[in-house]
Structure 1
């Protein structure tokens, strides 16, 4: 009985320490631009398309601004940061989602709000507005440019 009680108390203590020492806090950013994007599976040199963090893009990932305008390094929030959106992104294939992970960098010229996010929508086949093929590129364009409140787990 003593061993079971000691183990339970030890686990409770460790668990409470982990929860109470969390270095993360949700940071609220109102009125931020939300867009969607799509890229081809291969880059022009034939290599597989990857995010700025080095991962193969997948639904649930977003791009953010770089810290320094005009560069493609160091995102404004760290890679791996969770983002909670005010509304669900209703993806036609994967369904609704309202939380995402920062894994990419985009809009290097800051044409959107400071904490803008660009939701990965999927690989495109032609990546063109002028063809007759409807793909993830067109779905991303259809998503458009929206203004939502966001929360970042920093």
Structure 2
């Protein structure tokens, strides 16, 4: 069984600034619950969001390794957790950015899959994950707005 979690947030800033903030691994260090972040393997360019980059996020309860799967600056950024402490599969995630009047509409999606007898818990896990994406989006929005002042 698969489930996609989704969160969307309006941010009163240019699309390039929003993309750069959301895809910079260093920004995640400013979020509550994130202990550390680092690049494990460089990708095709110097940017930490470039294709092939593998990044590590330590969230305290577990360490996540994400790989950048596709990038179309500044419109979207795809990633996949290739290592994480959860007993389900991460199919992939996407951050999409769209210029709108007064700023940028950011949409964050992540698809997870669970097999076997415990898959009945997937809707609850997906709801919690979607809530987490929304909370992180709102924290990122605060960071962007604060930088603009």
- TM class by shorter-chain length? under 0.3
Q: Which has the higher contact order (CA 8 A, sep 6+)?
A: 1
Q: With structure 2 as the length reference, what TM-score do the two structures score? A: 0.28
Q: With structure 1 as the length reference, what TM-score do the two structures score? A: 0.27
Report which of the two has the higher share of strand.
Answer: 2
